[in-house]
Structure 1
Amino acid sequence: MAIPTLNLTGHHRMFIRQIHYLLALAKTGHFGRAAQTCHVSQPALSTALQHLEEELGVTIIKRGQRFQGFTEEGERVLQWARILAQNWEGMRQAAAQYSQQLTGVLRIGAIPTTLPVTPLLTQPCQAGYPGIAIKLLSLSAEELIRQLDNFELDLGLTYLDDPRLKGFKTLPLYLERYVLLARNPAPCLLKSALHWRDIASLPLCLLTQNMQNRRLIDAAFREANVIPNVMLETDSIFALYAHVRSAGLYCVVPHSMLNQFALHEDITALPLTPELSREVGLIVRRQDLPSPIQDAAWNIARQLDLQHRFDSLMAAGHLTLRQSAAVR
């Protein structure tokens, strides 16, 4: 069925611009920066927002010499503005989808430890829909949830056991398992059942304590009744690998990270016992009519077999372990 071309009057186009101006002001908290974001002059933005207030018959913005926030009525209008902007973008994408030219920006938020996994989703999305651009942000779980709630993201990639996810639609993708990453591990580590207490005294590099991954690892060491010897902390998963590769340190990482790390002959991934695991997946805000771009990415993600891929990488690390033991 053919979809008619959207033919907006000047009034309608102005209303849509007003909505985007309002959202830009909420995001930047500054009239000048909001105007820059929207590529208009500050007077033009201010005038458009005053006209919006006149049309709605309420004061939205607290004004002084500078932006002072939103009125109580303004906060409620802002929530509706976010919904309107989301629905407008969804309608625009739906019109493009009918002409088989789905375009737009897919906004994904991912907690840091899942970033090495994201190319496995973004690549097939762009291969299937060349008109899609992707904006990928590394966010804490809290900020990821906040931005989804405010319609600033389309999808989130995070741990699914977070109680704050009630009300979100979730798609499990894989169960991450934790391994010790080592370069030329000592003979005492080359055994089939490597316990957390066996690695506590090693010179470790771990993620910083504000990250969920680190809190999970700290809990495993507490359960083993040992204190880990943490020599270096970083907020970068790639810095972890670099220090294993070049500084003689050891690190504990999810086995999904092996997807991005080059396991050279001298680098080994050693499974730990008792196994530490956590479910990772996509989340999206529940809504009656998801945007076509959200729907397309969600359906592609459902076809990924990430569990088999990552478990195979861990098995390859095990093979390295057996080879090393045989040589020694």
Structure 2
Amino acid sequence: MIDKLEMFIAVATEGHFGRAAETLGISQPTLSSGIKQLEGQLGVRLISRGSRYGGLTAEGKLALERARKIVGETRTLREEMRFTRDGLTGQLRIAVIPTALICAANLVTRFTDRHPQVNAIVLSRTSSEILRMLDNLEVDAGLSYLDNEPLGQATTQDLYRESYVLVCAQDSPLAGRKVVAWSDLGAQKLALLTGDMQNRRIMNRNFREAGVVPDCAVESNSLVVLASKAAQSGCATILPKDVAGFLTAGNGLVTVPLKGGQPGHAVGIVAPKAEPHSPIIRALLLEARRMAENTARVA
């Protein structure tokens, strides 16, 4: 029945039989047959459908919550059996907010160096998408904001606190400043993340507190685009300090500390609440704790 439950979760997640079948790597007739078999075993209709997907029935909504729990526990059991036999093996799927991708790369490198039989998949997603993907079992863990999102009963591990710098071209009038206040940016053309990004919403609060309406020349969900735009005369961007250091190296850009605004938000690992966690998640949380402790010592 587990494979049928996974089919059901995929359909509920995608809201479309064709996309769900593609995600699972099976044909649509096989998927439809599996859903019908599951409904027959449970004795209820789970999905409203005519010629296409019509949403979950009341019974389907109840079943979805239980299906996620059963499938999640089954995956953990399988991983525990592999761990007992072969050590830590398998795949780690982690979704990461764009501003934490440098940290994620460092964490995954440390993790796979320590556990070479595990391969990692790192996906860039918004903070809200990460929570949805965790709920739908699409990823094993997330790297996101910890104190600015409704995380519910999730297990978390702090990694660092975000702090911001202004990034601008070397010939910018702001490049020679020792520090820039948010209130100084009212007349500055900016390249900023799109409004669906939690990082942008945090920045918008800082702008409002400073009485500034940002003059946003470009919006993008790509940090590379923002840094490239800042390299052009007359524009600047605002990035977390560690990301800025990586993107500005050798690119004719400089960083200037920003003062004021709200204290930086905590960023760290988010994993589904479970007892026990799977071996891979236990190892990931341990590696994240080691990395946070090392960062604290260096600071």
Interval of TM-score (by shorter of Structure 1 and Structure 2) = 0.7 to 0.9
Question: What is the CA distance between 1:249 and its match in structure 2?
Answer: 2.0
- Name the counterpart of 1:215: 201
TM-score relative to the length of structure 1: 0.80
Question: What is the CA distance between 1:228 and its match in structure 2?
Answer: 3.2
Kept in 1: contact 2:175–2:255 (CA 8 A): no
1:45/1:252 Cα in 2 relative to 1: closer, same or farther (>3 Å)?
closer
Summarize the alignment of residues 98-117 of structure 1 with structure 2, pairs less than 5 Å apart.
Answer: 98-117=84-103
Aligned residue among 278, 281, 292 for 1:291: 278
Q: What is the rounded CA distance, in whole Å, between the counterparts of 1:188 and 1:70 in structure 2?
A: 55
Percent of aligned pairs with the same amino acid: 34
Question: What is the CA distance between 1:290 and its match in structure 2?
Answer: 1.3
- Name the counterpart of 1:5: none
* Cα RMSD, aligned residues only: 2.7
Aligned residue among 39, 47, 50 for 1:61: 47
Query: Are positions 1:195 and 2:172 aligned together?
Result: no
Aligned pairs, number: 297
Aligned residue among 282, 290, 297 for 1:303: 290
1:198/1:94 Cα in 2 relative to 1: closer, same or farther (>3 Å)?
same
- Name the counterpart of 2:155: 169
Q: What is the rounded CA distance, in whole Å, between the counterparts of 2:127 and 2:76 in structure 1?
A: 25
1:139/1:36 Cα in 2 relative to 1: closer, same or farther (>3 Å)?
closer
Deviations along 1:98-140, whole A, 9 cap, x unmatched?
2334333322122222223210111122222233232322222
Aligned residue among 223, 234, 254 for 1:237: 223
Query: Which amino acid in structure 1 is aligned with residue 65 of structure 2?
Result: Q
- Name the counterpart of 2:239: 253
Q: What is the rounded CA distance, in whole Å, between the counterparts of 2:121 and 2:68 in structure 1?
A: 18
Q: Which moved more, 1:277-286 or 1:245-254?
A: 245-254
Q: What is the rounded CA distance, in whole Å, between the counterparts of 1:171 and 1:264 in structure 2?
A: 33
Aligned residue among 139, 147, 151 for 1:153: 139
Kept in 2: contact 1:18–1:49 (CA 8 A): yes
Q: What is the rounded CA distance, in whole Å, between the counterparts of 2:53 and 2:194 in structure 1?
A: 36
Query: Which amino acid in structure 1 is aligned with residue 211 of structure 2?
Result: N
Query: Are positions 1:49 and 2:35 aligned together?
Result: yes
- Name the counterpart of 1:94: 80
SS in 2 for 1:261: helix
Question: What is the CA distance between 1:252 and its match in structure 2?
Answer: 1.3
Question: What is the CA distance between 1:173 and its match in structure 2?
Answer: 0.7
Query: Are positions 1:128 and 2:119 aligned together?
Result: no
- Name the counterpart of 2:15: 29
